[in-house]
Amino acid sequence: MLAVQFEIEPRWHLYWPGRNDSGFAPKITLKGPEGYEFGEPLWPAPKRHVQAGGILDHVFEGRLTVLIPLSVPKGASGEAKFEADLSWLACERVCVAESARVNLTLKIAADGEKPLDAAGRGLIIAARAAVPKPIDEAKPKVVAAVHAGSLIVEAPGATRIEFYPFEDCVEIPDLLGRGSAKAARLALPLGRGEGEVRGVVSVTMPGAAGAPATAASYSVDLPAKAKEPEPPRPATNAGGTK
């Protein structure tokens, strides 16, 4: 697992690769030795960011760590150099487009050799924990379903539930007004089109014995509409007539 980390200046933000009214997410282009393969980037959950005029974005503040799964070819050893071309949009009152090229050289443990404890191990462990888990793995249980044209999310005891849609999610007419609920239940009306309800659910639970509240995030992928049952076919007799 490789990690690309952005240190974001106070009051500034970067964008999530989901549905936003403005801005675009950081772009990461990786290069490595022949035979090494990169998986799809793994992103943490964002936060809602509402600007004047009802502009809704989903953003990162403070620090952003993106994980990239890495497949190492069998029999690899020695050193491997990786290079990343990065571009991103940083916004506060104004937006600034920026770019950078960074590189990293890692020692590859040979077959049977104990891997080294890389300096970034703790950072990657923390970033893994921040990647949304499938909602079926939520503990305590969180339930998401589509009913009567709405996404319903229930999390007993929660003080806030929010939904952050991916770009390919079915249309949501009032994400600004209905995408966040200070309650244990979120009811979010969906558009009329066909498609999937795809995105991230964030659930905030109160802390025990005066401890601060905690937030956990889960991925959701549901059909926007239940399939209609097929109409019964007319019975036929042995001769093939109705």
- What confidence tens digit (pLDDT) does each residue in 45-104 have? 999 999 989 999 999 999 999 999 999 998 888 899 999 999 999 999 899 999 999 999
Cβ within 8 Å of residue 142, ≥6 positions away: 135, 153, 154, 155, 158, 201, 203, 218
DSSP H or E segment with residue 211: none
pTM for this prediction = 0.87
Which residue carries 């905030």 as its tokens? 204
Topology (CATH) of 2-130: Immunoglobulin-like (2.60.40)
Q: Dump pLDDT digits (tens) for 109-168.
A: 777 777 666 667 888 999 999 999 999 999 889 999 999 999 999 999 999 999 999 999
* DSSP code at position 91: E
159-175 CB burial, b ≥16 within 10 A, e <16: ebbbbbbbeebbebeeb
Question: How do the domains of the chain map onto residue ranges?
Answer: 2-130, 133-223
Fold matches, 2-130 and 133-223: yes
CATH of 133-223, one of 3.40.50, 1.20.5, 2.60.40, 3.30.460: 2.60.40
Write the pLDDT tens digit of every residue in 15-37.
Answer: 999 999 999 999 999 999 999 99
**What average pLDDT does the structure give for the chain?**
90
